[in-house]
Structure formats: structure tokens, C-alpha cells
Chain A
């Protein structure tokens, strides 16, 4: 069974550019989460999808971040325009329901220069 996959694994972009991160959850997992880890700090919740609906997006830093999950399968997280403080590792996780452990992807390391 394929795990959670994220693309790209690394991205280096200039300040002001746009980047789109993709997450493919484990097939059949309705719950999809985005997290971010800035260097030296804890993993922070960004948002939670149940199928295609945003269940909780209280962790999204600002309106430069846009997450979508069309069709309830894969999800994208777009940062536009990117700022230096957006650098970090963006993790995606999926679960079949809300009472089991989350399976994490390898993460996308975003560097904004």
C-alpha cells in the first residue's frame, strides 16, 4: 500500500514567487492535514480537510496561503507571494478517521530566498 506522498521534496524559490505543494494521501483516507515546521520550532497545524471540505483552517498563517482538495483526493497548498518566513518543512498527513494515528508524508522542504 502506498503511503502519503508529497511533491516536490525540496523547493527553493525567490521572495515574491509562487509555489504549489502537493500531497497525495493514502487511498481511502478522508482526513487530510497540513502541518508546517519552521526551523527550531514545533510542528504547527495549518488545516484539516474531511474529503473536499475544509474542516478547520485556523492554523493558516494568512491569506497568502491557499489550500484545496478538489474531489477529495489529493490536496495542494499554494503560497502566493512567498515570503522569507514561509521557509520550513511542510508535512501532509492522512487518516481514515479521527481516532487513529496520522500517517505522514516525507514533507516538502521550502526555502524562500
Chain B
């Protein structure tokens, strides 16, 4: 089976750094996605990690440890528009399983 765990909610201050953690258990692991979803909108792709390590894309970075079944999404220089849900999703053999999402609230 597949199981994804991530915190339900987080609050952070504008300009700060926040790390959203995700642990997963999946058979036939083929990679870990992070998606951003604003309320009422479709999830949009942020990152995809297949190999261990950190991948950086501007203000967003994503880390993966396959041996630990662990990933995190790091958001730097937070902006108010970063308030959204962040979905961790693990690709198994044929399908992608999502976590419940972490609702991030950025406050002034």
C-alpha cells in the first residue's frame, strides 16, 4: 500500500523561510512530487525529485531521501501569495498518491 504524511497546517511570516515535511511509504517508488494548490484552483507542479538530494528552483527547493522515505519543500523569502496548500505526492509503480496537503498561511 501507499501512505503519505504531512502536517495539516503551518503558519509563517512574510519574508521568512518555511520547511514543509513529508514522509511516505510506497511500493515501487519512482519519485516524489510537490504541488501548490490555491483555494478553488487546480494543483500546479512545483518539483519532482527522483534521486536523493536537494533541488533548487528560485525561492523553492525540494529535498529527497529515498532511504528514509522523507522529503521536504523549502520556501524562502515568503510572500503573501505563497499562502496555499502544498501537496506531497509519491509516484508508485503506475499511479501517484497524494498526501492530505499542508495548508500554509503567510502572515505579515
**Which residue of chain B has its CB nearest to the CB of A35?**
B98
Q: Which interface residue of B4, B43, B45 has the most chain A CB atoms within 10 A?
A: B43
Task: State the interface size on chain A (CB cutoff 8 A).
Answer: 23
B67 interfacial by beta-carbon distance below 8 Å: no
Stretch from A11-19, A39-47, A66-74 contacting the other chain:
A39-47
Interface residues of A in 59-113 (CB under 8 A from B): 59, 91, 98-107
A43:B87 contact, CB within 8 angstroms: yes
- Given A44-B98, A101-B45, 13 extra CB contacts under 8 A: A33-B96, A42-B99, A42-B100, A45-B96, A45-B98, A55-B94, A98-B91, A98-B94, A103-B45, A104-B44, A105-B42, A106-B41, A106-B42
List A residues at the B interface (Cβ < 8 Å): 4, 33, 35, 41-45, 48, 55-56, 59, 91, 98-107
